[in-house]
């Protein structure tokens, strides 16, 4: 898909930032996907939706940048962070990466980039409805929606990839 120049201008300071570049090395939805590709795909989808809804340039940029930063936690969760081992039972689940990473991403993104309250809210709550915190602004609703669609597509590709050898073995049986 052709990437629009306006989209690139909106995000280039973030994607060229050395800390954001590190997300290329963090595996995300399967071995062929990393946080960088997932985040850029989510941002591009959010940008297209904002354009389709004919939102203002300011809103479009706000939504696109929030989408790009929604998983920018600043660590590889497979390395054991955040440390939820010290908790027990339901608290351990609540403090797991799945539930906590929106908050970590909002904090880390705010440290490296200038964010508005609306963007911070969108990043924090992008795991809604899994995390029972309702997005307060349109940024949040669009980021949440786009993340779900992009993540589902990536996970389906990952599953298809895993079953590929099985399908390859089955093919002669139907020949
Ligand atoms: Fe996420
Ligand atoms: Fe995501």
For the chain, what are the domain ranges?
5-174
What residues flank ion ligand 2 with Cβ within 5 A? 71, 147
Q: Considering every ligand atom shown, identify the ligand nearest to the alpha carbon of residue 35 and give its number.
A: 2
Measured in residues, the chain has a length of 175
- Please tell me the least confidently modeled range out of 97-101, 128-132, 150-154: 97-101
pLDDT, tens only, 14-65? 999 999 999 999 989 888 889 999 999 999 999 999 999 999 999 999 999 9
The count of C-alpha atoms lying within 13 angstroms of the C-alpha of 23, restricted to the half-sphere facing its C-beta, is: 26
Task: Enter the pTM of the model.
Answer: 0.88
Give 99 Cα–ligand 1 centroid separation in angstroms. Answer: 9
Structure tokens at 168: 């390859």
Class of domain 5-174: mainly alpha
Q: Considering every ligand atom shown, identify the ligand nearest to the alpha carbon of residue 148 and give its number.
A: 2
pLDDT, tens only, 63-103? 999 999 999 999 888 776 656 667 777 777 777 888 899 99
Give 171 Cα–ligand 2 centroid separation in angstroms. Answer: 35
Give 70 Cα–ligand 1 centroid separation in angstroms. Answer: 6
Give 81 Cα–ligand 1 centroid separation in angstroms. Answer: 15
Determine the Cα–Cα distance for residues 135 and 121; give it in Å rounded to an integer.
7
Contacts of 94 (CB under 8 A, 6+ apart): 87, 100
pLDDT, tens only, 112-123? 999 999 999 999
């Amino acid at each position: 898909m052709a990437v629009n120049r306006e989209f690139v201008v909106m995000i280039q300071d973030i994607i060229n930032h050395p800390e954001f570049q590190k997300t290329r090395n963090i595996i995300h939805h399967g071995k062929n996907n990393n946080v960088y590709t997932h985040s850029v795909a989510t941002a591009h989808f959010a940008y297209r939706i904002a354009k389709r809804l004919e939102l203002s340039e300011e809103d479009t940029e706000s939504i696109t940048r929030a989408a790009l930063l929604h998983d920018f936690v600043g660590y590889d969760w497979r390395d054991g962070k955040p440390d939820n081992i010290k908790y027990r039972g339901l608290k351990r689940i609540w403090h797991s990466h799945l539930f906590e990473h929106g908050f970590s991403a909002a904090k880390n993104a705010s440290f490296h980039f200038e964010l508005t309250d609306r963007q911070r809210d969108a990043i924090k709550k992008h795991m809604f409805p899994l995390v029972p915190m309702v997005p307060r602004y349109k940024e949040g609703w669009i980021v949440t929606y786009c993340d779900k669609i992009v993540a589902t597509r990536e996970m389906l590709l990952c599953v298809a990839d895993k079953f590929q050898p099985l399908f390859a073995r089955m093919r002669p049986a139907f020949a």
